[in-house]
Every structure is written in structure tokens, then in C-alpha cells.
Amino acid sequence: MNIQKVLNDLEKRNAGETEFLQAVKEVLESIEDVYNANPQFEAANIIERLVEPDRVLMFKVPWMDDRGQVNVNRGYRIQFNNAIGPYKGGLRFHPSVNLSILKFLGFEQIFKNSLTSLPMGGAKGGSDFNPKGKSNNEIMRFCQSFMLELCRVIGAETDVPAGDIGVGGREIGFMYGMYKKLTHEHTGVITGKGIDWGGSLVRPEATGFGVVYFTSEMLTVSGESIKDKIVAVSGFGNVAWGVVKKATELGAKVVTLSGPDGYIYDSEGISGEKIDFMLELRGSNDDIVRPYADEFSSAKFIEGKHPWEVKCDIALPCATQNELNQNDAETLVRNGCICVCEGANMPSTPEAIEVLQRNKILFSPGKASNAGGVATSGLEMTQNSMKLNWPREEVDNRLHQIMRNIHSSCLKHGKRTDGYVDYVKGANIAGFLKVANAMLDQGVV
């Protein structure tokens, strides 16, 4: 494989899709040696087949707001690869959503899902709909209209969506309700469902818990532990919430949260009722984290900045893509940070990763460390198939074991001769091999 040639061709065919090209480049650079050492991959042209989605659905989503005005948004579902199982991946509702962002997320999901060891292919979807400031009824009408189209391509054994930015329990409920009405079936077609109607215990916390389990594994390798560490977290959504909960429970002190308006610094740490307040903030349909500082006197609000300027031992970016850049990475290194573990998808820029790895900081890519969310979605699918519910402890134990296994896979393929673990390379190779071998087995389809 000539990476530059593949990327040049890809750039021509997908002009301007910067996030998608960024995600592909990272994977290709990681797998180059393994790919070229196995000529059967090139003979079957695995790379060209892997970087082209199986299909892309784009559709109109008309909906009526509370004033009786008709609005139109764009909906998407990218079914990227189903070599190892039904398409699986979340739905994102955010005004920044476009084809490039969803293709990058769908592409990443292929390798992430492969790492979980569960049978799930890669997909992603969503809309440029902005849930902020919308009423409950507006959200419901939007979700129903979205599902009217989406339902044509999903199914419990075909494609199983879930949540992502802007899509939580409420949105999943509205979409599931419409799917059920349209198909006359109660199936495991969506994950992240309410606990009373087919959801799994621990799914709401799973992504964040998984990130912290993974962080602990990374620290153990270097003889460290998360206890008593100062942790900087970005975002204040679902993933950030689970991260703060588990990190605090394990004795770490989380001192930051962030939103599009800036970040809060809480010198006493975010614990107890403050963690519950995060849920209120997220549920408020507002775009801001500032009210946290109004509520708790131990906190101050820093407008328009990212939390990476705060002195911390561990940084856990949990908001969105490309939110931690080269400058941020340099600041973290200068301030003595020892570990950056991604909760969001691709939050660190390639330049930031280069700085962190050059300085031998423990660094894990989201596709490894945030895989606990989709893994628990996989466990929800299993429970739905069996028509039973596992107790909390069973789901949590399985999640924990899956995160340990992913960590071992990263070590297996990413440990360098100097002892440093390249988790990016490890995750990409481990995720790739399973999918590529499955594609070989199944012929040219």
C-alpha cells in the first residue's frame, strides 16, 4: 500500500471532508506495516473497500415548530462496514453535523466495534438539527419525522442506532416509539433504551465508566493509580458525567468541566450533588456550563477557554472532535500531565498526539478508551435477544472485562521495543485485523 497515493485518491473523491480524511490517515499510517506484510490484503484491495462506506443515506427531515412554522433539516445514516456484524453506531444531533463528520465517526466505529470483541459493524448517523432551546414537543416532532425515513434502513439484525451528542434517553424514546408504531414490532432496534422498555442497566454510565477503567489500566502498566490524581475533564454531557462519577468514586479529584461557553474550575473537586447537577445542566437544553459556577462557590468560570491550561495529572477530553490542539498538548506536558485518555471521538488533533507521544505521555485514542459505550450497547442487544435483563453488577463486570481486553489488545500490537505503548497503533492494528480477515473470508461483496 502506498499511503500517499490512497490518500490523494481519497481526497479527490471526498474533497473538503477534512475530518474523514484525518481519521483515515491516522488508521492507514498505523496499519501500513501489518498491511504490507500480508499481501493477501492488497490482493483483495481491502483498503479501497474499507474507506468507502457500504452506503450513505441522506434525507429530508421536515418538522413543525411550536409557532406552526415548518422547518427542514438534513438527516443521515452512514452504513460503513458490516463485515463482523450488523451496522452499529450512534446518532448525533448538532448544528455542526455534516457528511464529513459522520463519515469520520462511522469509519472510527468500524475499528472501535471490532475492538470490543462483540459482533458489531460500523455506522453513524444524525442531523444538523440543533436541540438547544427547543421544547419537548419540538424535539418529539423532529425525532418522529427523522425516524419516518430512518426506519427504512435499520433493524435489530441490520443496523442498530444509539445516542451520541444531542441524543440521549429522551430522543431515543421518541425515535423508538415511532419505530414501534411504524413496524408493529418491539425489537432491539435501538440501544440506550429506557430501563423499563428494553434498556440495559449501566448503559447511561457505560462510556464514562469505560474511559476510567481504561485509564486505570494504562496507569497500572506504569505502576501508577488513579487514586488522588488531579483530573481535568472537558464537556458536560453524557460521557463527561460517567467519567466524573467513576473517577471520583475511585478517589481521583476532578477539577474541570467545559462547554462551548468556557470551562469551570472547581478547586474542591466535582463530587456528590455536583455530579447530579451536571445532569440538570445537560437536561436544561441550554448551551452553557457557566451556571455550575453560580451554583457552587468553590467553582469559578473561565470564559471562552479550554480546561487544558489547568495543572493536572490526567486529562480526559469528553466533548467533541479536535478540541485539544498542539498548544494544549504542550501546556499539558509542561504542567506535568502523565496521561491523556480520550472520552470523545478524535478530540486530539494529529499535532497534539505527536507532542504527547514524543514526550512519552500515556495517550489513548477514543476508539479504544471510549468503546465501553458501544460495548454496553452490544450487551443491551444480547439481553434483548434473550428477552431478559442482567443485574447491574453483571453488566458492569462485563464492561470492565471488555475494557481490560481492549487494553491488552493495544499492548499486544502497540508495545514498542523501548517499552512505550503506542495505543494509537495498537488499537488501529487490532481493530483492523479482525475486520480485514472477515472481509477476506467473505469474498468480494
Which residues would be at the binding site for ligand NDP (CB under 6 A)?
94, 96, 163-166, 207, 235-240, 259-260, 282, 287, 318-320, 343-345, 370, 373
The grid coordinates of residue 408 equal 491488552
Q: Interface with ligand 2IT includes 89 (CB under 6 A)? A: yes
Q: Kindly list the strands in the beta sheet with 55-64, ordered across the sheet, starting from the edge strand earlier in the chain.
A: 55-64, 70-81, 121-127, 87-93, 159-162
Min CB(403)–ligand NDP separation in Å:
13
- Cell numbers 499510517: residue: 29
Q: Interface with ligand 2IT includes 208 (CB under 6 A)? A: no
Q: 124 an active-site residue?
A: yes
Q: How many residues bind ligand 2IT (CB under 6 A)?
A: 11
Mark the segment that binds ligand 2IT (CB under 6 A) among 85-93, 143-151, 258-266, 387-395: 85-93
Min CB(91)–ligand 2IT separation in Å:
8
Q: Interface with ligand 2IT includes 191 (CB under 6 A)? A: yes
Restricting to residues 374-403, name those near ligand 2IT by CB under 6 A. Answer: 374, 377
Neighbours of 306 (CB within 10 A): 21
Residue from 77, 88, 103, 282 binding ligand 2IT (CB under 6 A): 88
Q: Kindly list the strands in the beta sheet with 362-364, ordered across the sheet, starting from the edge strand earlier in the chain.
A: 253-254, 230-233, 314-316, 339-341, 362-364
CA distance 194 to 191: 9
Residue from 31, 99, 162, 189 binding ligand 2IT (CB under 6 A): 162
Q: Is 307 or 347 the residue whose CB approaches ligand 2IT more closely?
A: 347
The SS3 of residue 300 is strand
Sign of the Cα pseudo-torsion (242, 314, 21, 113, in order): negative
Beta strands, E only, 251-395 = 253-254, 256-259, 262-266, 299-303, 314-316, 339-341, 362-364
Min CB(94)–ligand 2IT separation in Å:
12
88 binds, among ligand NDP, ligand 2IT, none (CB under 5 to 8 A by kind): ligand 2IT
Q: Is 112 or 253 the residue whose CB approaches ligand NDP more closely?
A: 112
Query: Distance between terminal CA atoms of the chain?
Result: 21
- Of 112, 124, 245, 425, the catalytic one is 124
The grid coordinates of residue 53 equal 462506506
Residue from 26, 138, 164, 217 binding ligand 2IT (CB under 6 A): 164
Burial of 352 (0-12, 13-18, 19+ CB in 10 A): buried
Rounded to the nearest angstrom, the gap between the alpha carbon of residue 127 and the centroid of all alpha carbons in its chain is: 16
Min CB(11)–ligand 2IT separation in Å:
25
Min CB(139)–ligand 2IT separation in Å:
18
Min CB(159)–ligand NDP separation in Å:
17
Q: Is 46 or 381 the residue whose CB approaches ligand NDP more closely?
A: 381
Written as one string, the DSSP assignment of 355-387 is HHHHTT-EEE-HHHHTTHHHHHHHHHHHHHHHT
Among the listed residues 98, 114, 89, the one whose alpha carbon sits nearest the alpha carbon of residue 27:
114
Mark the segment that binds ligand 2IT (CB under 6 A) among 141-149, 292-300, 369-377, 422-430: 369-377
Catalytic sites, residue numbers: 124
Residues that bind ligand 2IT (CB under 6 A): 88-90, 112, 162, 164, 191, 345, 373-374, 377
